[in-house]
Each structure stands twice: as structure tokens, then as C-alpha cells.
Amino acid sequence: MKDAVLKLKKEKNALILAHYYAPLEIWELADFVGDSLELSRKAAAAKEDLIVFCGVRFMAESAKLLNPTKKVLLPVADAGCPMADMITAEKLAELKKLHPEAAVVCYVNSSAAVKALSDICCTSSNAVKVVSSLEADEIIFVPDRNLGAHVAKHNPQKKFHFIDGYCPIHNACTVKDLEKAKALHPKALVACHPECGEGAPALSDYVGSTTGILDFCRKSEGKEFIIATELEIVLALQKELPEKTFYPAKEGFLCEDMKKNTVKALFDALKEETGEILLPPEVLTSAARALERMINL
Ligand code: 13P
Ligand code: SF4
């Protein structure tokens, strides 16, 4: 089936993009594997006719927004992101009414309708930079309150308004989990995604996006690492760097939506061109503007 995917990919002039949390067998087939910022950049620059996005819905939607003349496919229709569903356009509109002076920054883990109401988007790798670049003293930051807290710590002069949004998988990684992992592996360095639970980043040696975590482990002279993000990163690091040892920060650190991306689903989508991303025209332009502002920055 892997050979069949590669054959179809060539025939259809398709670009296969995969997020790092997709299973390793998908990494083998993808033209590019990356974090959400790198994938947005690749999608924006794609020259192929078809973009097949092995990730979750908001990622494929971002690809469509950044390169609207391309056909973008999400192989698994129900591969979503529970955090993205925690903020709706209606809720954000209410928040904007309450804080009319505030600039609106939305994490890319959000719907196109939410992006359309935002001034600028950010990802976990550029959130601090995006917020620092804004002149506004007041910021509405949605939906992730954990990433928001990380950004606020680096922008103490600004006032923030958050909602109670979080990634159920990362938020479940708590201070207690990290203390336990550190007690078991006292020599290990801790690398943590900013979506992790309150207080977890403060216990870590490195806090950053998925790519940031991979680079930290590659460059560090440390020999053991506790990885506070999705399990696929632990597996990928262990495969790439067998001379080092990687421990998951806790049991069950799995994004089930990302794991829906099987080779069979990719094959079916490519063959039948199913799962096309279609966005309402009324949100397309404004949502693209917020994303493009981020890319340009
Ligand atoms: P990255 O920005 O690190 O790719 O994270 C996206 C995400 O969904 C993490 O849960
Ligand atoms: Fe969404 Fe969390 Fe999965 Fe990332 S890991 S896609 S934030 S549910």
C-alpha cells in the first residue's frame, strides 16, 4: 500500500504534508514532516496541484487559507482538535465586545471562523514573538490558556484576556507527572511543549514547539531526556538518536485524532480525492489575512 501511495502521489502531482504527531509510517510517505508553523509555510509555497494533509482539520484548513487555488485533502474527516473546538466565533465576538481595545491573537489550533475575527495568528513556536510584535497593551489570546500563560510571562507589560481552553492531552501532563519522571530519571533534562499543564513549563529545561523540542534534544550534550509532548516525538527521537535515551513524561501521551492518519486512509483519500477542505467564502479572506500576517512576521 505504501508503494501504491507513492505511485498515486506522482500521478496526481500531490504534496503529502504530515504533522510530527502522525504515526511514523506516515512520516515515511510524506514529502515533509514538521510542526504547525513549518507545515503552514510549506503549504503556502506548494506548487503541486494537490495537497494531502496528514494532520488534523485546523492544519488542513490553514493550508487551504494560505494556498486557496490548490485542492487540499484531509484524509480522515473526523481528525479534529478538541482544543480548537473550545473557542467559537460567537464566543470570540462576545469577548471582543467586552475588551474593544484589545488586539486578538489566535493560536492556529482554531477554526477558520475564529481566525477570521482575529488580528493575527500564532503557533507554539512563534507565539511570544507574535505578541511582542504588537503595539497593543491589551491582548485577547485564544484558545489555549497554557500557551497564553507562557506568552504572558514573556510579555509582563501587557494585559491578557484568556478563555478556559486547553489541549486535553498536553494539559493532563502536570507538575506531579514531571516530578515523578524526574525522580525516576534524575539525570534527564526535561523538554516541554507550552500546551502542558499549569506549572509544568517552569520545571522544564526547555519549553518550545515540537520542532523546538526535537532540535533541543539533537543539540544538547545531555544523554537522557524526559519528553513532555506527544509520544510520536519520543519514538522519533529514540530512532534518530539511539545513543541517547528518551522517556515519555507520562503514560498515554497520545493524540488520538492524529493517530487516525493511517496509510490506508491516505491511500483512499489520494485515490478518490475525498476529504476536500471547502471553506465558506465569507471567512476566507479575513481568516487568510490573520494567517498571512503571522507568516510575513
Ligand atoms: P506544534 O506547533 O508544536 O506543531 O503543535 C501543534 C499542536 O497541535 C500541539 O499539540
Ligand atoms: Fe489538538 Fe492536543 Fe492533538 Fe495538538 S495534541 S492536535 S492540541 S488535541
Q: Which CATH architecture has domain 84-167?
A: 3-Layer(aba) Sandwich (3.40)
Rounded to the nearest 10 degrees, how much is the dihedral formed by the CA atoms of 125, 34, 15, 143? -40
d(CA 100, CA 90): 15
Alpha carbon nearest to ligand 2 atom 1, residue: 81
Question: Could you tell me the residue ranges of all domains in the chain?
Answer: 2-80+258-278, 84-167, 174-248
Alpha carbon nearest to ligand 1 atom 4, residue: 35
Q: Which atom of ligand 1 is nearest to the CA of 213?
A: 3
Alpha carbon nearest to ligand 2 atom 7, residue: 167
Alpha carbon nearest to ligand 1 atom 8, residue: 109
Cis (ω within 30 of 0) for the bond into 248?
no
On the question of a common fold for 84-167 and 174-248, the answer reads: yes
CATH of domain 2-80+258-278: 3.40.50.10800
pLDDT at 282: 86
- Ligand with minimal distance to 211 CA: 1
DSSP annotation of 202 reads: G
CA angle 12, 34, 208 (to 5 degrees): 165
Which neighbouring-strand residues pair with 17? 32, 53
- Ligand with minimal distance to 22 CA: 2
Domain 174-248 part of CATH 3.40.50.10800: yes
**Read out DSSP for 257-279?**
HHHT--HHHHHHHHHHT-SB---
Q: Which atom of ligand 2 is nearest to the CA of 21?
A: 5
Ligand 2 centroid – CA 255 distance (Å):
6
- How many CA atoms, within 13 angstroms, populate the side-chain half-sphere of residue 36? 26
**What are the CA-CA distances from residue 213 to residues 47, 148, 209, 292 (Å)?**
29, 19, 6, 25
Alpha carbon nearest to ligand 2 atom 2, residue: 167
CA angle 26, 201, 297 (to 5 degrees): 65
Alpha carbon nearest to ligand 2 atom 5, residue: 255
93: which residues sit within 8 A by CB, 6+ positions away?
117
Number of neighbouring beta carbons within 10 Å of residue 24: 13
Using CB distances shorter than 6 Å, the residues near ligand 2 are 56, 81-83, 109, 167, 169-170, 195, 230, 255, 257-258
Q: Pull the grid cell for residue 137.
A: 497593551
d(CA 214, CA 218): 6
Local confidence pLDDT in tens for the 297 residues of the chain: 999 999 999 999 999 999 999 999 999 999 999 999 899 999 999 999 999 999 999 999 999 999 999 999 999 999 999 999 999 999 999 999 999 999 999 999 999 999 999 999 999 999 999 999 999 999 999 999 999 999 999 999 999 999 999 999 999 999 999 999 999 999 999 999 999 999 999 999 999 999 999 999 999 999 999 999 999 999 999 999 999 999 999 999 999 999 999 999 999 999 999 999 999 988 999 999 999 999 999
Mutate to test the pocket of ligand 2, among 39, 83, 196, 253 (most ligand atoms within 8 A of CB): 83
pLDDT at 10: 97
Alpha helix ranges (H) inside 103-247? 112-116, 127-133, 145-154, 168-171, 175-184, 210-219, 231-240
Ligand 2 centroid – CA 27 distance (Å):
18
Ligand 2 centroid – CA 4 distance (Å):
29
Report whether residue 195 contacts ligand 1, using a CB cutoff of 6 Å.
yes
